[in-house]
Amino acid sequence: MNKYTLEKIASIGVATRGNVQQAVKLSREVLSEPFSPYERYKVLKQTAELMIEKQEELAQIICEEVGKPITESRGEVARAAMTLEISAEEAKRISGHAVPVEAAPGSERRKAFTIRVPVGVVAAITPFNVPLNLVCHKVGPALAAGNSVVLKPAEVTPLCALKLAELFNEAGLPSGRLNVLTGNGPEIGQWLIDEEDISMFSFTGSPRVGRWLRERAGTRKVALELGNNSATIIHHDADLDTAAEQVALKSFNNAGQVCISVQRVYVHESVKESFLDKLRIKTEALKVGDPSDDKTHVGPMIHPDQLKRVEEWVNEAVSQGAEVVTGNTKQGTVFMPTVLTNVKRFMKVCKDEIFGPVVSILSYEGEDDVINEVNDSAYGLQAGLFTNDLSFAMKAAEKIEVGGLIINDTSGYRVDHMPYGGVKGSGNGKEGPKYAIEEMTNERIIVMNL
Ligand SMILES: NC(=O)c1ccc[n+]([C@@H]2O[C@H](COP(=O)([O-])OP(=O)(O)OC[C@H]3O[C@@H](n4cnc5c(N)ncnc54)[C@H](O)[C@@H]3O)[C@@H](O)[C@H]2O)c1
Ligand SMILES: O=C[C@H](O)CS(=O)(=O)O
């Protein structure tokens, strides 16, 4: 469906159990066919080039099937191409290392080294919100490492994955290396779990589903990129204009449906009123509405049910004492960017992942207090800290329990070659092609008794 107009834009097949079995069988069989690192490099690089050639077509697909503003959708295509380019380069750099076993008494005449071998068949399951780049963050490294992939994109945003498979095919990817299954998550998920030829599950999505997979995968590798209720700290020495601008951008891009979207903002008491006023002005200046308009910043949510949930969470918070600075209204499938204050930690809008265009403003005084408040979360993906106080920045770097801390920017910062992944309820994997390849290969030691 077009997520803004709710008009039908495509009909997609629903995979059967037989399709799942066939996809895994093809994925398994193709592993016996040679696919050298340089061949992988060429296919990945060519697919990236094709993506850029077709950037507008792909951006339109993202805009329609996610409801993501077209300008942001174009940006996703550019990032996805970059992800594949990085994967292509990493395909040429996969290696093990020497191991000095001879240092052990009695092993003086032995030599050892490790090699990295592909895990085999990778089942990649991806979320709705970034349907091209997050698919590339699984498929790119998996292929670069010599694996084959069975890909299950989100039911509500399958078109990008299908288009990507077409581009890989055009770029010469051997048949069977990438197989796309569209349809119902729980059903296909169970059928994938039942396929013993799958060596690894690479999942990005909600903690609920991530736990479901992990509990059933047995001894197979499971890489989890899960949810977050991202915090950003605005210290008393922060550049408030920059901080307000970045918080507005990264609280509401993709309608807040981003795992590192700014959800909790902790502002030092001494600058709270000034920051709040600047944030309100920046938020109310955002253009909201039709995502196909080049000027739109905030489009619709992925489904009316999700809009209803967000509205319920906000209204519950208000009933518990939260105050609306701006927003908490809706226009069709769009929930207006909303800023709340007087928010308490027990409120859903604070302690859970809202995954919508809502940001809660809280205040603090002491450095240790705010670090403790940021850490008072089931999640730990990324956090932001606006300050020029290096000792506070380094204290936060050492004490804030996240996968990434972004100094003088928000939690929403990411470039595609950096290590990316969370702790606690945010998962256990690390993406970024170099790091995903390490997870998608097994290290084998070779010892030679000379
Ligand atoms: N950490 C990250 O990098 C990252 C990135 C994007 C989104 N996310 C998280 O993803 C969530 C939003 O995405 P979503 O709504 O698509 O998540 P979701 O968990 O509902 O769905 C994710 C994928 O899992 C599939 N799925 C659903 N039930 C399944 C099952 N029982 N077995 C196997 N697959 C199943 C879905 O079809 C979809 O393809 C948020 O929690 C967000 O924080 C995390
Ligand atoms: O939704 C979470 C994504 O990982 C954020 S990004 O699109 O990769 O920056």
Collapse the DSSP code of 257 into the 3-class scheme (helix H, G, I; strand E, B; otherwise coil) and give the result. coil
Q: What is the pLDDT of residue 436?
A: 98
For the chain, the structural domain boundaries read 17-227+427-449, 231-407
Per-residue pLDDT of 160-177, as tens digits, reads 999 999 999 999 999 999
* Given 136, 160, 259, 350, the catalytic residue: 259
For residue 258 and ligand 2, the question of a CB distance below 6 A is answered with: yes
User: What's the pLDDT at 409?
Assistant: 98
User: Which residues approach ligand 1 with their CB closer than 6 A?
Assistant: 125-130, 134, 152-155, 185-186, 189, 204-206, 209, 212-213, 225-228, 259, 353, 355, 381, 427
Q: Tell whether ligand 2 has an atom less than 6 A from the beta carbon of residue 336.
A: no
Query: Which ligand places an atom closest to the C-alpha of 132?
Result: 2
Q: Residue 428 CB: number of other CB atoms within 10 A? A: 17
- pLDDT exceeds 90 at position 386: yes
Whether 259 is a known active-site residue: answer: yes
Mean per-residue pLDDT, 386-405: 98
pLDDT at 429: 86
Q: Give, in degrees to the nearest 5, the angle at Cα 261 between 256 and 267.
A: 115
- pLDDT value of residue 139: 99
Structure confidence by residue, pLDDT tens digits, 32-47: 999 999 999 999 999 9
Q: Say yes or no: domain 231-407 is CATH 3.40.309.10.
A: yes
Residue having the nearest C-alpha atom to atom 9 of ligand 1: 205
Q: How far apart are the first and last CA of the chain?
A: 65
Residue nearest (by alpha carbon) to ligand 1 atom 17: 205
Q: Which residues pair with 178 in a beta bridge?
A: 149
Mean pLDDT throughout 255-280? 98
> Check: CATH 3.40.605.10 for 17-227+427-449?
yes
79 alpha carbon – ligand 2 mean position (Å): 11
Q: Whose CA is nearest to atom 9 of ligand 2?
A: 414
Beta bridge partner(s), residue 420? 431
**CA 165 – CA 171 distance, rounded (Å):** 10
| Residues contacting residue 170 through CB under 8 Å, at least 6 positions apart | 47, 50
3-state secondary structure of 358: strand
Query: DSSP label at 69?
Result: -
The answer, yes or no, to whether residue 321 has pLDDT greater than 90, is yes
Is the CB of 414 within 6 Å of ligand 2?
Answer: yes
Q: Do domains 17-227+427-449 and 231-407 have the same CATH topology?
A: no
Backbone angles phi, psi at 249, to 5 degrees: -65, -45
Distances in Å between the alpha carbon of 318 and those of 20, 314, 355, 360?
46, 6, 18, 12
State which of 414, 416, 431, 435 you would mutate to test the pocket of ligand 2, scoring each by most atoms of that ligand within 8 A of its C-beta. Answer: 414
Q: How far apart are CA 85 and CA 81, in angstroms?
A: 6
pTM (two decimals): 0.97
Mean pLDDT of the chain: 98
- The ligand 2 atom at the shortest distance from the C-alpha of residue 416 is 8
Check if 417 has its Cβ closer than 6 Å to any atom of ligand 2: no
Query: How do residues 225-246 score in pLDDT, each as one tens digit?
Result: 999 999 999 999 999 999 999 9
| Ligand number with the minimum distance to the CA of 79 | 2
Q: Is 381 in the pocket of ligand 2 (CB under 6 A)?
A: no
**For ligand 2, is residue 254 a contact (CB within 6 Å)?**
no
DSSP letters, 261-315, are: ---EEEEEGGGHHHHHHHHHHHHHTS-BS-TTSTT-SB---S-HHHHHHHHHHHH
**Residues contacting 167, CB < 8 A, separation 6+:** 47, 50, 51, 54
Tokens found for residue 203: 């999942």
Counting ligands in written order, the one closest to the CA of 431 is 1
Residue 333: band (very low, low, confident or very high) from pLDDT cuts 50, 70, 90: very high
Type and span of the H or E element at 43: helix 37-53
**Type of residue at 128:** F
Q: Contact at 8 Å (CB) between 370 and 290?
A: no
